[in-house]
Chains A and B, each alone.
Chain A
Amino acid sequence: MIRFIVRRLLASVVVVFVVASASFLLLHAAPGGPFDTDQRRSAAVQRAMEDRYGLRDSLAAQYGRELAMLAHGDLGRSMKRDVTVNDLIAQHAPVSALVGALGLLVAIGLGLGMGVLAAWRRNTRTDYGLMAVALVGISVPSFVLGPLLIATISIHLGWLPPARIDGPAGYVLPAITLGLLYLGTIARLTRGGMLEALGQDFVRTARAKGLPERTVVWKHALRIGVQPVVTYLGPATAALISGSFVVEKIFQIPGLGASFVDSIAERDYPVLTGVFVFYAVLLVLLNLVVDLAYGWLDPRVREARA
């Protein structure tokens, strides 16, 4: 198990290194300097600004400096506003994390339930109905669903605030919009995993022991049937990140996704690459956790790795 963890950690370091190098290359491939604007500046001012950000050093020197900065956890600073990328993340990421966690909760809670029910009642109307709903959920983009929810539930019915988070009620619509994004995928994965699990020997044993069906399904089978969902948590978080761009923009939530989208329009390259590195590291770490959780869920995997 230790060897497995070490190997995965090494692979993660390689990925982070590649990400950092890619972001560096991208920054330098950007057409024009970050200070080429319509404003007239004297050559001296231009040079001074470029000096301040070390843009006149050799590429190798800049690359070395960038990697050293990243190794210290420094993601650089914005070129449009007087703020470091680290501050930006510290300020906005908690909001995104909360909305994201709530969305994930919606997706996992409903998705697992739907998937287990569909597998348990397989090839019945319940099953087909639930899976059709899941597919609809996968197919409706959040930037269609979000505005429709605002128009109907917030404005027309007046039940929930349309935008901005002032209180707990403000989280409901963003969490639902975000959660529906992959609720369907989780439901389908759960169904597939459960169908496989319900056909295995240990489930037959549990039934033969005379355990109630509820215990067999929810305690024994689910532990194995949930595995595809656990594997999906990595890609789900990636989807959560790109989903947050849309949802935070639509509901005007001051999260990291909204700042990222604003940086696209502002052409604030260091923020774009810095936040990208942050997301990549986050996902690499998460995938590591998922791999470990896998062994914890299924003793057979743990044995195989030892």
Chain B
Amino acid sequence: MSLGPGAWARMRQHRLAVACGALVLAIAVACIVGPWIAAAFGLDATTIDARLGATPPSSAHWLGTDTLGRDMLVRVMIGGRIALLVALVTTSVALVIGVAYGAIAAYAGGLVDEVMMRVVDALYGFPTVVFIIVVMSVLGTRSLVALFALIGGISWLTMARIVRGQVLGLARREFVEAARASGASPTRIVLRHVLPNAAGPVIVYATLALPQVMLTEAFLSFLGLGVQAPLASWGTLVTEGSSQILVYPWLLIGPGVTMALAILCLNFVGDGLRDALDPHTRKI
């Protein structure tokens, strides 16, 4: 499907998706810029005020303070930076692996294709998340880079399938035939002619991968394997909050609602994009 003005018009019809996209952007901008603005009001995520302790939301601290007297709004914004960073980088990792894998399988064809896609099938029915939990705990690694590589390394399967399907379909089209006839190399054909035309579905599934990897990161953080102190992501904030839900409910509600809202909106945007860019795929 083309990325032209038609697609934008179809996308705009999804008012909910557009609104959600705006909300996600707003959350992202708030997370990036917010802490600096808060600093101007003398609020930061690290100043400990043990005498203040945990206070419910007030005009001074909109989302309340945690048990150490730290402002929750700033903590949520800083946590959002990490959560968004992890989501973007891991999705990019998954994107690169998935596109390369799918394109190679489709272009190689025959037995190579068969084996490569059977591997993807096998991985679909495989406890990949449990696997990275075992890898992270056994290797004792807690670095962000490992997190990027591992979550990215398990999130490319759908992308590979989509790209393979696209490439197979496009490879039979006349303009690819023409490129081949004019002597373009296979690499050039794939990179210059086939992949750009597969951009629509790739964008859709990259968008839908974002909320997925966010959930995975938060899940790993819940198990104590994800983002580590002194860094904090929404996942770690939610984990802290969930253990104190009965005493200080705002510690869970602030980061929990923000994260759920971001994930929900990304899902709605992905759905809208799919209807606009890739109307033929069945809803998954």
In the complex, the number of residue pairs spanning A and B with C-beta atoms less than 8 Å apart equals 134
Q: Which of chain A's residues have a CB closer than 8 A to the CB of B218? A: 141, 143
Q: Does A117 sit within 8 A of B, measured CB to CB?
A: no
A-B pairs with lowest CB-CB distance, top 5: A139-B264, A287-B125, A144-B256, A234-B125, A192-B283
Taking Cβ atoms with an 8 Å cutoff, the residues of B that contact A are: 118, 122, 124-131, 133-135, 137-140, 211, 215, 218-219, 222-225, 238-239, 241-242, 245-246, 249, 252-253, 256-257, 259-260, 263-264, 267-268, 271, 282-284
What mask results when residues 177 to 205 of chain A are scored 1 for a CB within 8 Å of chain B, else 0? 00000000000110110011000000000
Given contacts A29-B139, A143-B239, contact A192 B219 (CB under 8 A): no
Name the interface residues of A235-290: CB closer than 8 Å to any CB of B.
Answer: 235, 238, 241-242, 245-246, 250, 260-261, 263-265, 267, 269, 272-273, 276, 279-280, 283-284, 286-287
Distance (Å) between the CB of A145 and the closest chain B CB?
Answer: 9
Q: Which of chain A's residues have a CB closer than 8 A to the CB of B128? A: 238
Q: Does A15 sit within 8 A of B, measured CB to CB?
A: yes
Taking Cβ atoms with an 8 Å cutoff, the residues of A that contact B are: 11, 15, 22-23, 26-27, 29-31, 135-136, 138-141, 143-144, 146-148, 150-151, 155, 188-189, 191-192, 195-196, 228, 234-235, 238, 241-242, 245-246, 250, 260-261, 263-265, 267, 269, 272-273, 276, 279-280, 283-284, 286-287
Q: Which of chain B's residues have a CB closer than 8 A to the CB of A246? A: 219, 222
- Contact partner, A139, options B134, B211, B253, Cβ 8 Å: B211
A250 touches B127 (CB 8 A): no
Known: A140-B263, A195-B283. 7 other contacts (CB 8 A): A26-B135, A30-B139, A139-B267, A147-B245, A148-B252, A151-B245, A280-B127
- Contact partner, B260, options A139, A146, A280, A286, Cβ 8 Å: A139
A264 touches B133 (CB 8 A): yes
Distance (Å) between the CB of A279 and the closest chain B CB?
Answer: 5
Q: Which of chain B's residues have a CB closer than 8 A to the CB of A284? A: 125
Distance (Å) between the CB of A149 and the closest chain B CB?
Answer: 10
C-alpha spacing A155/B245, complex, angstroms: 11
Q: Which of chain A's residues have a CB closer than 8 A to the CB of B264? A: 135-136, 139-140
With CB as the reference atom, state the residue of chain B lying closest to A191.
B283
A151 touches B126 (CB 8 A): no
